[in-house]
Each structure stands twice: as C-alpha cells, then as structure tokens.
C-alpha cells in the first residue's frame, strides 16, 4: 500500500453503482451506442446515456443536475475514465439526446437487448406485451412527431392530466427487449396490431421463426383484426373479454360439465391467515370467434373476485326484496275459501320460479267467532272460516352456487388448438400469470423515486428519456434474474429483509445491502474503507461479479 497521503486522499460513496457498471459492461452499453450514433462531441452519446442510467438507478430523479451528481462520485471508477463532471451539463446531454433520437431509440434499444439476451442466455420464446400511460404535469402543448402529448384514457386514473403511452415487449417474464413511446390517446388494440405486423421480422433477429414463440397480451388484444393477424404459426395467449357471448357460454358449460382439471396453487408462498394462496382449476374447451375455432381455458380461482361477489350479493338482496314485496301482497290478503288461498299461493310460487330463493307456502285456517261470551261449558260458536297464506323464504343453494362459481372464473384464449400435450392448461395459466412481470416493470418506470416528473419540453427528448429508463430497467431485471438463477441452481437462500432468508431476492433488496460502501482513493490506488461483509460477498457471488468492481476502474 502506498504511503498514507491525506492531502491527496478522497473518500467517495460507491454503494451498488459499481455493480451496475459491471452489468452495463457485460451488455456493451457504451460501445454499442457509440458505434450506432455518429457523434464528434467530446462527451460520447454512449457515455452520456450510461451516466444517466447510473443516476437513474441511484434512486435520484434522472436528468436532474447530473453535474452535481458526479461531483460527489469517483468518475474514474464508475465511468471507466476520469471525466470532468462539467461535461454532463444540460447542453451536452441535450445534444446527445438529439443525436440519439436521430439514430432511432428503438433501433438502439433493440441492439442492446439483443446483446443482453446473448450474454445472459435469456429465453426469448415467451413474449409479453402491454402498455401504460404516463401523466405529465404543467402546460404541455407538444403535438406532432414523434408523438402527441394529449388527453386520453388514463391508466393512472388521472383524466385531468395530459399523457403519453409507453408500450413494452418483454421475454422471460420481465426482461424488456422492445419499448416505444406513442400518442397519449393511442388504443391498445391498435398498438397490438402494429406490433403483430412486424413481430415475425423482429423475432427473426433473435433467431426465432414463427411458431417458435408465444405472444402473450391482455384482453385488449382480442379483436377481429388482431386475431386475423395471428396465423396458425403465430401463437398467442390472451384473455377473452367478458363482453363476448362466447365467454359466458363457455363458463356456463364448464360449471355444468363439472369436469375440472385440478391445478392447485401456482404461488410458492405458504398459506397465511390474511392472504391464503389461490387454488386453481381449469376446463379445456373451444369457442368460435369470427367464424374460426379457438381453444378456451376456463380457469376457476379460489381467490374470488371481491367485486364480482359484491355484485352478486347486491343482486341477491334486490331479488329477496322483490320476492318479499310479492309475498306481502299475498300474505296481507284475507281469503274466504281455501281454494282461493291455495290458488294465490300456487300463483306466487310460479311467479317466484326465476328467483334465486326457495319459497315455501302454507294455507292456514282462521276461525271467526260470534260476539259475546259463550255459555258456561259450551264452545264458542264459529260464524265462518277465513284463510291466509304464510310464506318462508330461503336462499336457493342450487341456484346461487353456480353463479358464485362462475364469478370465480375467467377465460384464456389461444390458437394452440390440439396441443394439450405440449401446452396443458396448467402451462398456459402459468404463462399468462407471468404477465404480472411486465406490469411490475411499469411500476418501475413510474416509480416517483426514479421519475419524479416528466419535465422535458421536447417530445423527442422524452422519447430518449424513455430509452434511458428502458436500459435502466433492463439492467435492473438482469441483476435480479442472475440472483434468482443462482438461488435456484444452488438450492440456497440469500439474506433478505430483517435478518430473514429469501429465495426471491430483488434488485432493490440488493441495493440496500451496499448502502455503506465507501471507497478511499489515494492517487491511482483505491481500497474499501471497510472490508466487505459476508452477506455482501454472498450477493456478489450471486450476481456473478467480484469485489474488484469497487476498486478497479
């Protein structure tokens, strides 16, 4: 170790950022962008994007005072070269973003994603597509290329704000390989159709021919045009909307046939009192849409949709109220012969036949006596007999149980006909449930800790910001994937929250383990202020990087 030189010694906070750098190097982030973007600037476009990625994954608001961010960092360690923080001024970043836009953000991200899939051996045969809206604050008047920021259907439930849409295509559950920004009022149905038009050409870049992958999308995919785009070789999996008559028909058929395939729980967690694990059953059938047959998997979940059951409860309450009203009209009426009373009771039962309640009636005889007290030891004299109807109303289990069972069902739609052996119901359900991965990606892109607000005043720069966020997300998910593969391969656990072990480590969980990493620099020599702890070394092993990332520029 060189002599202790306090005058030239600096201490910087590295945290988990050197690990991010290692993954950026693995996918060739800087080199790929610099090769694709023609630039003569002193700050290369690849280095500008990499700097913004580091800033994004540090937990700060991206693109905000990047110069100040790197004034507190060891740029030689994080960036690979000793770049002055002043180079990351807004002017240089803006010019780099404009040059990147001219090259094409989709083109750049596609190549970086292809690098990632090759290096990390990611399986690209399971595609997941979805969209989300990103709201903007302030007086945005951006209209025209590359997209319009305008009002539209807000998935954030903020129809008062203008927005743009982000669409994403992921593989292996949540690894993004394609992402675009588009008009704020664009339709999911149209975006699905546009992607399907070019998906064969795009997947061919990854060495996959039609028939080698399955396209998974939500119910907005199911339209006549989109179904027509999917030939017999372009496999898809979606959810059949309840607006189609075939959806309710196949659900009723499944309940009546009662020929369920028991799938059981898909989650790895154990049952908990407040959150029991859902158990699944499936019924394999067919439906016909637009004159063509499709395979339909009716899935019943024990975790019933609360909103559907509340609707059923309201319907039962209204049904009981109507039946009580009809009964009151009959029970309040006095009949002067048994035949009239019995006829009224029979008529009431016939009227209640469509009801979800059982109705029982009884005709009771009521004697009417003369006035005055009868003589001693003589019975009271009956003048006549009157008759009334009494009713008993109970819920009909034979009628209510099927609709409650139907309420716990949804229908998966696919063109994988006659492929029950290769694609059983359980595999299709598991594949569709993994769609949650892309929804979690949208949560990442809209996390306030990452994107506090969209403040750029050029639509083209917002598109490049989207590229930066997608690259950040790609690295984030690759780190998480590496850790989970390590856990699965070695059948082990990693330190989780509050001294508990976990088999599902997350990238955020990893970052909390390296919050106290400080690097001492004296000249060209670097060393850690404190040795790495055992759990930190364990995480580095799971990530596939060495401790040198914290000390080797």
pLDDT number for residue 5 = 58
Lowest-confidence segment of 5-9, 85-89, 136-140, 347-351 by average pLDDT: 136-140
Q: CB–CB of 335/322 below 8 Å?
A: no
**282/364 Cα distance (integer angstroms):** 50
The residue with greater pLDDT, 77 or 454, is 77
* pLDDT-wise least confident of 153-167, 188-202, 386-400, 444-458: 444-458
Domain final residue pick, 402, 424, 446: 402
- The pair of structure tokens assigned to 197 is 């038009």
Measured distance CA(214)–CA(233) in Å, rounded: 10
Report if residue 384 sits inside a domain: yes
Under the banding of pLDDT at 50, 70 and 90, the label for residue 147 is low
444/480 Cα distance (integer angstroms): 13
Question: Is the per-residue pLDDT at 143 higher than 60?
Answer: no
Residue 126 has pLDDT above 60, yes or no: yes
Question: For residue 350, what are the CA distances in angstroms to 332, 343, 391?
Answer: 19, 11, 14
Alpha helices in 352-435 (DSSP H): 397-407, 425-433
Span 510-532, average pLDDT? 90
Q: For residue 450, what are its two tokens?
A: 């990452």
d(CA 236, CA 222): 10
Amino acid 141: pLDDT: 56
- What secondary structure, in 3-state letters, does 222-248 show? CCHHHHHHCCCCCEEEEECCCCCHHHH
Instruction: Using the structure block, give the residue that is written with the tokens 């769609």.
Output: 435
Query: In this structure, what token pair is assigned to residue 205?
Result: 């870049």
Check if the beta carbon of residue 261 is closer than 8 Å to that of residue 373. Answer: no
Please report which confidence band the pLDDT of residue 453 belongs to, taking 50, 70 and 90 as the band edges: low
First and final C-alpha spacing in the chain: 17
Name the domain boundary from 386, 402, 418.
Answer: 402
- CB of 91 within 8 A of CB of 132? no
pTM for this entry = 0.81
pLDDT in tens, 459-496: 788 888 889 889 999 999 999 999 999 999 999 999 99
Q: How confident is the model at residue 387 (pLDDT cuts 50, 70, 90)?
A: very high
Residue 374: C-alpha distances to residues 187, 261, 385 (Å): 87, 74, 18
The predicted pLDDT at position 268 comes to 62
pLDDT of residue 459: 77
For residues 384 and 460, state if they share a domain: no
- Grade residue 1 by pLDDT with cuts at 50, 70 and 90: very low
In a domain, 184, yes or no: no
The per-residue DSSP string of 352-366 comes to TTTSSEEEEEEEEEE
Share of residues in the chain with pLDDT > 70 (%): 92
Question: What does the pLDDT read at residue 113?
Answer: 94
Q: How confident is the model at residue 230 (pLDDT cuts 50, 70, 90)?
A: confident
**Predicted local confidence at residue 116, as pLDDT:** 96
Q: How far apart are CA 191 and CA 220, in angstroms?
A: 10
Report the DSSP pairing between strands 494-495 and 409-414: unpaired
Burial pattern 408-418, b for ≥16 Cβ within 10 A else e, equals bbbbbbbbbee
C-alpha R_g of the chain: 33
What is d(CA 140, CA 381) in angstroms, rounded to the nearest whole number? 92
Confidence tier at 205 by pLDDT (50, 70, 90): confident
> Mean pLDDT across the stretch 29-45?
92
Of 457-471, 512-526, 536-550, give the range with the top mean pLDDT: 536-550
Question: Is residue 212 assigned to a domain?
Answer: no
Instruction: Report if residue 248 sits inside a domain.
Output: no
pLDDT, residue 271, reads 54
Residue 19 in any domain: the answer is: yes
In this structure, how many other beta carbons lie within 10 angstroms of the beta carbon of residue 279? 16
- Residue 83 corresponds to which tokens in the numbers above? 């770049």
Count H helices, E strands: the chain?
18, 16
pLDDT in tens, 427-442: 999 999 999 888 888 8
Residue 119 lies in a domain: no
Distance CA 310, CA 195 (A): 38
Among candidate residues 127, 278, 84, 145, the one with its CA nearest the CA of residue 216 = 127
Tokens matching residue 490: 């070695």
Work out how many domains the chain is built from and give that number. 2
Q: Which pLDDT score is estimated for 277? A: 82
Between CA 141 and CA 150 the distance in angstroms is 8
The pLDDT tens digits of the residues spanning 267-289 come to 765 655 566 788 899 999 999 99
What is the structure's pLDDT at 272?
58
- Would residue 255 count as lying in a domain? no
- Per-residue confidence at 376, pLDDT binned at 50, 70, 90? confident
**Is residue 239 very low, low, confident or very high in pLDDT (cuts 50, 70, 90)?**
very high
Assign 139 a pLDDT band (cuts: 50, 70, 90). Answer: low
Last residue of a domain, one of 402, 420, 444: 402
- What is the residue range of 318's domain? 313-402
Q: In 10 A of CB 369, how many CB atoms?
A: 12
Determine which of 110-124, 375-389, 390-404 has the lowest per-residue pLDDT on average: 375-389
Same domain for 16 and 93: yes
How many of the other CB atoms lie within 10 Å of CB of 401? 11
The answer to whether residue 415 scores a pLDDT higher than 80 is yes
- The residues, any chain, with a CB within 8 Å of residue 524's CB and separated by 6 or more, are none
Q: Is residue 80 part of a domain?
A: yes
Across the strands, what pairs with 129? 169
- List the strands of the sheet with 525-528, edge to edge: 9-13, 518-522, 525-528
């Amino acid at each position: 170790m060189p002599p202790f030189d306090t005058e030239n010694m600096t201490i910087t906070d590295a945290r988990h950022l050197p690990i991010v750098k290692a993954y950026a190097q693995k996918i060739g982030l800087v080199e790929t962008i610099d090769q694709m973007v023609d630039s003569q600037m002193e700050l290369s476009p690849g280095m500008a994007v990499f700097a913004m990625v580091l800033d994004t994954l540090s937990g700060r608001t991206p693109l905000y005072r990047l110069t100040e961010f790197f004034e507190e960092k060891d740029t030689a360690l994080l960036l690979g070269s000793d770049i002055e923080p002043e180079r990351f001024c807004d002017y240089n970043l803006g010019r780099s973003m404009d040059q990147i836009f001219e090259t094409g953000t989709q083109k750049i991200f596609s190549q970086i994603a292809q690098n990632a899939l090759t290096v990390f051996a990611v399986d690209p045969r399971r595609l997941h597509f979805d969209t989300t809206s990103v709201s903007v604050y302030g007086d945005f008047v951006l209209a025209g290329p590359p997209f319009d920021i305008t009002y539209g259907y807000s998935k954030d439930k903020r129809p008062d704000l203008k927005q743009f849409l982000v669409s994403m295509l992921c593989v292996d559950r949540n690894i993004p390989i394609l992402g675009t920004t588009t008009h704020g009022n664009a339709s999911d149905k149209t975006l699905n159709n546009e992607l399907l038009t070019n998906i064969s050409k795009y997947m061919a870049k990854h060495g996959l021919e039609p028939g080698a992958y399955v396209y998974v999308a939500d119910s907005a995919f199911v339209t006549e045009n989109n179904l027509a785009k999917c030939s017999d070789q372009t496999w898809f999996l979606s959810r059949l909307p309840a607006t189609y008559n075939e959806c309710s028909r196949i659900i009723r058929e499944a309940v009546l046939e009662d020929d369920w395939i028991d799938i059981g729980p898909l989650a790895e967690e154990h049952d908990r009192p407040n959150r029991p694990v859902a158990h699944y059953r499936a019924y394999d059938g067919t439906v016909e849409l637009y004159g063509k047959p499709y395979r339909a998997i009716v899935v019943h979940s024990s975790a019933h949709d609360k909103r559907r059951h509340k609707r059923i409860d309201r319907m039962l309450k209204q049904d009981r109220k109507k039946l009580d009203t009809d009964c009151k009209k009959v029970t309040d009426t006095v009949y002067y012969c048994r035949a009239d009373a019995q006829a009224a009771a029979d008529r009431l039962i016939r009227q209640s036949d469509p009801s979800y309640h059982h109705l029982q009636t009884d005709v009771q005889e009521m004697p009417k006596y003369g006035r005055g007290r009868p003589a001693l030891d003589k019975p009271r004299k009956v003048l006549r007999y009157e008759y009334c109807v009494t009713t008993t109303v109970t819920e009909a289990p034979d009628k209510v149980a099927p609709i409650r069972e139907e309420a716990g069902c949804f229908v998966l739609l696919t063109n994988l006909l006659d492929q029950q052996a290769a694609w059983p119901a359980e595999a299709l359900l598991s594949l569709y449930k993994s769609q949650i991965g892309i929804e979690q990606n949208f949560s990442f892109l809209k996390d306030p800790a990452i994107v506090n607000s969209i403040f750029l005043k050029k639509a083209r720069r917002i598109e490049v910001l989207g590229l930066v966020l997608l690259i950040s997300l790609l690295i984030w998910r690759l780190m998480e994937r590496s850790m989970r593969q390590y856990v699965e391969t070695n059948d082990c656990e990693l330190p989780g929250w509050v001294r508990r072990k976990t088999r599902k480590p997350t990238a955020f969980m990893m970052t909390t383990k390296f919050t106290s990493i400080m690097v001492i620099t004296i000249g060209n020599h670097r060393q850690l202020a404190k040795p790495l702890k055992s759990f930190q070394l364990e995480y580095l092993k799971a990530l596939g990087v060495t401790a040198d990332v914290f000390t080797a520029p």
